[in-house]
Structure formats: C-alpha cells, structure tokens
C-alpha cells in the first residue's frame, strides 16, 4: 500500500504548515493555511508524551509515501527542433535569491517560546525553528486565499527573502485517503488557483504545486487523470503569468516510487515542460539527497524540454536516508537533512527545501500534523 506524501491531512488540516494571516474577514470560520511549521494553537507541555502533543495546525503537511523500487531506465534524447521552423532563442533560466523565508508563525516557534526551561529547547530552536520552511495552503477558501497568500509573500518581500508556498487543494486529494479534501471539482480548483496566483506579488517565490497530484494519480480513471493533468498545466501557467519571478515545480514522487520513465511520461501529459520550471521530489519522505538528485536528473532527462528545467528536493528528514520498507510513520533513527538553500552546487538541482517541517508528526509520535518535541529532538540529534 502506498502512503501519500500528504497522507496526514485530517479533519481539514495538513501537517507541516504555518497559519498565514490576512484575507477576507468573513472567512474566519474556515481553516487558515499553514506553513511547514505550525499554526496558532494551544502551547505544548514542556515534556510532551508520544500521545499528548499540541493541537494540529489548520492544515498539516503530508506524511511520507511508501517506498517502492523503481526500474532504472535510460532517458531518451531531447527532441530536436524541426528544420523547417525558425530556430527560437533559448529560454532564459529563472533564478531566485539564496535567502529563503522563515514565516514568523509555526508550531515549533510557539513551542520554543512557551518552553524556555526545557533542556531540548536550544537544540530544537537552533536546528529546526531557525530554519525557513514551506507554507502550505490546504483549505479550499476561494474568498480568502488571495489575502492569505499575499500576507506571506508581502512579509517575505519586506524581509528580502524568498517564500516557499504549497498549494494543496486539488480535487480527490490523496485519493480519498487520510489527507482527502480539496476543491469540489476541477472548475472550482481552477478558480481557486487563479485567486491564489493573485496573491503572489512581484517578488521571487517558489511554488511546490500539489504534492502527490501526479505520482498518486493512478487511483483515477484515465479520463480523470487527463482532466487533472490539464488542470495542473493551467495552474502552472496561471501562477507563472501572475508573477514572472515565480518558479513553479510539478510533482515527481520520489526515488523509491515510480521509475523515471513512468514519472516523466505523466509529467509530459501535464505539460510540465511548458507550464513549470521543473519538478519536486521527496516531499515528507526520507530518501537520501544523492539518490533524489540522481533520480530527479533522470526524470528531467526523460521529460525533455527546456534545458533550464530543474528540481527541488525536500531534505527535511532525510539525513539518514530511508527507513526499512513499510516504516513510514515517524520512523525511528531518522535525522535532519541538508539545510534549506538555493545554492546546492548540484547540477539541475535548484534548491534543497524543508517542505515537511521536522517535528510535525505523521501520526505516531503524536496526532497527524501536531508538533512533537520528542520527535523533533530525535531528528535534530539523529
């Protein structure tokens, strides 16, 4: 059984998100978006137990996808331009600053603030809370989403930093699993994404578009997959048109799931080469950075398209690589991975990001999406 990268979104929340403020004042009854950090909540006790942790943020980030062993295939050559057409100028690569944004609200920041005497505090603060992390938007809130996105992007712009945003509202999200939810249909989703795009501002921004939306699409019928892929292509175009400095990445699963050839085929159907700036891998998972970088390059090679297409990798919990097969829920022995940066020094790898916030549970060290100080400390010292 494959567990999705976002399989911990329950009761309208997605683990790993920070609550963003702003938007329509009439939308107060709706859950606020979150950052791979935390939302406003009741403080955790100084010594949380595995079953008693802080209430989940409004939309927690996903849990890991179960590992699968993909077949290794060679990438086909990129298509050659037709000799009968005028040769187009090579597309200009889109770049972002190396300074990523840390949203000022998160479960881990709340815990650090509320537990000054805890002996784990300094380690959790310096190694996790001080790092920039993604901001998730998992609530279908068409009347409020523009303001909520704008609150994050304007805060990042004022700080001179680059925010990482995760739209997570595709219909049939998580194939009806633990993270089910999203917009009621694709027409509604298209409108929500357009509203999302209006909040992007004009500064640099990284958008991790819909974790699991492509890698987990096998649960859909052929027609449903085609419709979803077309919607993702429209979403990528809308986001990039709204802010030419936005870099948009499409879902490519991870190195332990689909083969690079299969993943590239699905990405091709979603027009990733024409509607995005590349792919993302390993969201909420544990696969080693080297394995993910090699896999991402294979996928990009098989996909073809502009040479500047790149990849971003979630390195939040992959410091010790993947656990034993089947051990996906807060597995023991894991560690923080490389700190977030856009200066990777690795060919075609645009950034290492913390998309899933370390310390937010998959549902075993605490309720799904809740921050666990014990789990965070174990990752920080693993």
Residue 116 CB neighbour total at 10 angstroms: 8
Angle made by CA atoms 137, 294, 245, in degrees to the nearest 5: 40
3-state secondary structure of 302: helix
Beta bridge partners of 280: 251, 312
> Got the DSSP string for 32-61?
PPEESS--S-PPPPSS-BTTB-PPPPSSPB
3-state secondary structure of 344: coil
Closest CA to 102 of 51, 64, 159: 159
Alpha-carbon radius of gyration of the chain: 19
- Which residues are part of the catalytic machinery? 174, 212, 362
DSSP alpha helices (H): ranges in 243-288? 260-269, 272-275
Strands 135-137, 164-167: pairing is: parallel
Closest CA to 235 of 284, 196, 204, 199: 196
Beta bridge partners of 162: 100
State how far the alpha carbon of 177 is from the alpha carbons of 3, 180, 212, in Å: 9, 5, 12
Q: In the Cβ-directed half-sphere of 92, how many Cα atoms lie within 13 Å?
A: 5
* Residue 176 DSSP label: G
Read off the tokens for 344. Answer: 């990777």
Residue 264 CB neighbour total at 10 angstroms: 26
Spatial distance between the Cα atoms of 99 and 76, rounded to a whole number of angstroms:
35
Phi, psi of 2 (to 5 degrees): -95, 125
């Amino acid at each position: 059984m494959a567990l999705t990268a976002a399989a911990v979104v329950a009761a309208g929340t997605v683990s790993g998100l920070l609550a963003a403020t702003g938007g329509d004042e009439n939308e107060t009854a709706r859950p606020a978006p979150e950052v791979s950090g935390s939302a406003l909540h009741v403080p955790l006790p100084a010594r949380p137990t595995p079953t008693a942790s802080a209430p989940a943020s409004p939309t927690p980030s996903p849990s890991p996808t179960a590992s699968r062993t993909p077949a290794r295939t060679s990438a086909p050559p990129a298509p050659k331009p037709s000799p009968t057409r005028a040769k187009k100028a090579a597309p200009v690569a889109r770049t972002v600053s190396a300074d990523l944004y840390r949203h000022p609200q998160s479960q881990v920041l709340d815990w650090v603030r509320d537990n000054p005497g805890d002996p784990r505090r300094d380690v959790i603060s310096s190694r996790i809370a001080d790092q920039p992390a993604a901001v998730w938007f998992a609530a279908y809130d068409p009347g409020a989403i523009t303001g909520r996105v704008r609150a994050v992007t304007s805060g990042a712009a004022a700080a001179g930093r680059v925010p990482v945003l995760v739209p997570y509202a595709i219909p049939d999200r998580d194939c009806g699993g633990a993270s089910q939810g999203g917009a009621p249909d694709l027409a509604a989703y298209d409108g929500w994404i357009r509203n999302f795009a209006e909040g992007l501002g004009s500064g640099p921004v990284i958008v991790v578009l819909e974790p699991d939306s492509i890698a987990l699409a096998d649960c859909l019928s052929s027609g449903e997959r085609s419709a979803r892929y077309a919607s993702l292509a429209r979403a990528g175009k809308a986001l990039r048109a709204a802010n030419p400095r936005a870099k948009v990445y499409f879902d490519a699963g991870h190195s332990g799931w689909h083969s690079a050839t299969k993943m590239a085929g699905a990405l091709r159907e979603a027009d990733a080469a024409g509607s995005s700036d590349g792919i993302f891998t390993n969201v909420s998972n544990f696969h080693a950075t080297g394995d993910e970088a090699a896999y991402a390059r294979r996928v990009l090679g098989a996909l073809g398209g502009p040479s500047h297409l790149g990849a971003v990798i979630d390195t939040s919990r992959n410091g010790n690589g993947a656990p034993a097969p089947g051990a996906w829920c807060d597995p023991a022995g894991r560690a923080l991975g490389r700190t977030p940066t856009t200066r990777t020094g690795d060919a075609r790898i645009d950034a290492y990001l913390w998309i899933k916030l370390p310390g937010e549970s998959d549902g075993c060290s605490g309720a799904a999406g809740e921050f666990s100080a014990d789990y965070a400390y174990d990752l920080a010292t693993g």
